[in-house]
């Protein structure tokens, strides 16, 4: 992070992933929250695409980081409904439309937070 008197300083270990989640939540009753923030105060994800050697099929993996308060993780691939802990989806070249994904998490108090990822387009 920087130098102080010639030695490298580091963030305290207890900060961990908690420092990643500083986005305002819809449940905090503040004017700082914007609907476009969605549930980014509890979950952040991006899609990672792995293609087969012939590029005629692919597996999409939701790579996510979850706040420590999250007790339930659900994935809604291609608008097929939420399924718990299903972070991958397989497709083949017969698919012509983009793949959509929404991720919903629930914290220990039962509050749900949702994000919608950018649709995935494939090389074919």
Mind listing the pLDDT tens digit for each residue in 25-70? 877 667 888 888 888 889 999 999 999 999 999 999 999 999 989 9
Mean of pLDDT values over 64-89:
96
**Using 50, 70 and 90 to split pLDDT, how confident is the model at 94?**
very high
Domain-embedded: residue 103: yes
**Using 50, 70 and 90 to split pLDDT, how confident is the model at 19?**
low
Domain-embedded: residue 12: no
Domain-embedded: residue 83: yes
Rounded Cα distance, 52 and 63, in Å: 19
Eight-state DSSP code of residue 54? T
Across the chain, the runs of DSSP E, i.e. the strands, are 2-4, 7-9, 43-51, 57-66, 70-77, 83-84, 88-92, 101-107, 112-116
Mean of pLDDT values over 10-30:
68
Eight-state DSSP code of residue 74? E
3-state percent breakdown (helix, strand, coil) of the chain, nearest 5: 10, 45, 45
Three-class secondary structure of residue 88 per DSSP: strand
Domain-embedded: residue 13: no
Rounded Cα distance, 67 and 94, in Å: 37
State the pLDDT at residue 12: 66
Domain-embedded: residue 33: no
Count structural domains, the chain. 1
Domain-embedded: residue 107: yes
Q: Residue 121 belongs to a domain with what CATH number?
A: 2.60.40.10
Domain range for 113 is 40-124
Three-class secondary structure of residue 63 per DSSP: strand
Domain-embedded: residue 74: yes
Domain-embedded: residue 4: no
């Amino acid at each position: 992070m920087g130098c102080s008197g010639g030695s490298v300083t580091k963030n305290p270990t207890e900060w961990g992933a908690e420092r990643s989640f500083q986005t305002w939540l819809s449940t905090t009753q503040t004017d700082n929250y914007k609907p476009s923030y969605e549930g980014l105060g509890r979950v952040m994800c991006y899609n990672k695409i792995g293609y087969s050697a012939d590029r005629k099929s692919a597996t999409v993996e939701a790579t996510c980081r979850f706040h420590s308060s999250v007790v339930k993780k659900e994935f809604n691939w291609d608008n097929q409904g939420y399924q718990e802990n299903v972070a991958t989806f397989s497709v083949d070249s017969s698919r012509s439309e983009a793949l959509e994904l929404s991720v919903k998490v629930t914290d220990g108090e039962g509050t749900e937070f949702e994000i919608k990822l950018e649709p995935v387009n494939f090389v074919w």
